[in-house]
Amino acid sequence: MKKTMFLLLVGAGIGVVFSLVTAQQVKNTSKASFCASCHEMKPMYETWLAGPHGPLGNDAGAVRATCVDCHLKHSNVVVYLFDKTRAALKDVYGHYFKKKEISSLDFWLEKLDARERYTYEENCRGCHKVLPDNVKHKEYEEGKTEESCLDCHHYVGHGFYFKEDLKSFFETGAIERLKYGTGDGMERKYEHEEKEYGEKHEYEEHEKDD
């Protein structure tokens, strides 16, 4: 009896330690900086930093979000962990065995055109529960349009000029628009032109603490 109890306690202890370590690793690998540790993700990371959902672009009024907030399913914990594992295995395979392909501008432009496959609308609504009152949102909530969040707000993840930024990175090795003023805490000012509406937005951007 004592031996059985001892084994149960040891097993429970190992289970607790394993769970804590796993939880910490899930947290660590969910940070945007972890995603950016692979070279091929550098342009995605830099444009996210300065984009509407990033820490430098958050003054634009958007909700702050990181890679996993948009690119992993969040229906429940099981779905999230499964999708995270699937995405991780796919990324690791691509990093080590498809270097030539993922180093191509065309590869990323194709992924950009298919953004709906790995950016989930349910995640948008998970944060944006109450939408601004306008005609387009009213049609959306009443089911009178087939347009999704990404059809209108495709720029929120990586900025208005994401396609141009990708081309700049692959052609010159750097994103010229973001080349200066990337130091910690350094204030920056950008002028964005939102082509869809012909409006110009000029605002101060600065890095915020987590």
SS (H, E, C) 10-70: HHHHHHHHHHHHHHHHHHHCCCHHHHCCCHHHHHHHHHHHHCCCCCCCHHHCCCCCCHHHH
210 occurs within a structural domain: no
Q: What is the mean pLDDT of residues 87-95?
A: 91
70 & 91 share domain: yes
Q: Domain for residue 168, yes or no? A: yes
Question: Is 35 within a domain?
Answer: no
Residue 96 covered by a domain: yes
The average pLDDT across 42-46 equals 90
Q: Check residues 10 and 121 and name the one with the higher pLDDT.
A: 121
**DSSP 8-state class, residue 196:** T
- What is the number of H-type helices and E-type strands within the chain? 11, 2
**Is 13 a domain residue?**
yes
What's at 55, amino acid-wise? P
Q: What is the pLDDT of residue 93?
A: 92
CB 190 within 8 A of CB 206: no
Please check whether residue 51 lies inside any domain of the structure: yes
Residue 107 · residue 101 · CB < 8 Å: yes
Whether 158 and 47 have beta carbons less than 8 Å apart is answered as yes
The better pLDDT of the pair 203, 68 is held by 68
Model pLDDT for residues 115-173, shown as the tens digit of each residue? 888 899 999 998 888 888 899 999 999 989 989 998 888 888 898 888 888 998 888 88
Torsion angle in degrees (nearest 10) through CA of 126, 164, 152, 79: -30
Strand partners for 189? 204
Report percent pLDDT > 70 for the chain: 80
Q: Taking residues 187-197, what's their average pLDDT?
A: 36
What was the pLDDT predicted at 204? 33
Average pLDDT, the chain: 78
- Answer whether residue 157 is part of any domain: yes
Residues in the chain: 210
Is residue 149 domain-resident? yes
pLDDT of residue 62: 60
Higher pLDDT, 189 or 105: 105
Q: Which of 73, 39, 26, 31 is nearest to 55 (CA)?
A: 31
Confidence class of residue 50 from pLDDT cuts 50, 70 and 90?
confident
Report the pLDDT averaged over residues 34-58: 85
The number of domains in the chain is: 2
Q: Assess whether pLDDT exceeds 90 at residue 99.
A: no
Return the pLDDT at 196. Answer: 35
Q: Please give the full DSSP string across 147-173, using - where no structure is assigned.
A: --HHHH-TTTTT-TTHHHHHHHHHHHS
The larger pLDDT score, comparing residue 42 to residue 177, is at: 42
Q: Indicate whether 3 and 52 sit together in one domain.
A: no
Contact 62, 30 (CB under 8 A): no
Which domain does 74 fall in, by range?
Answer: 40-205
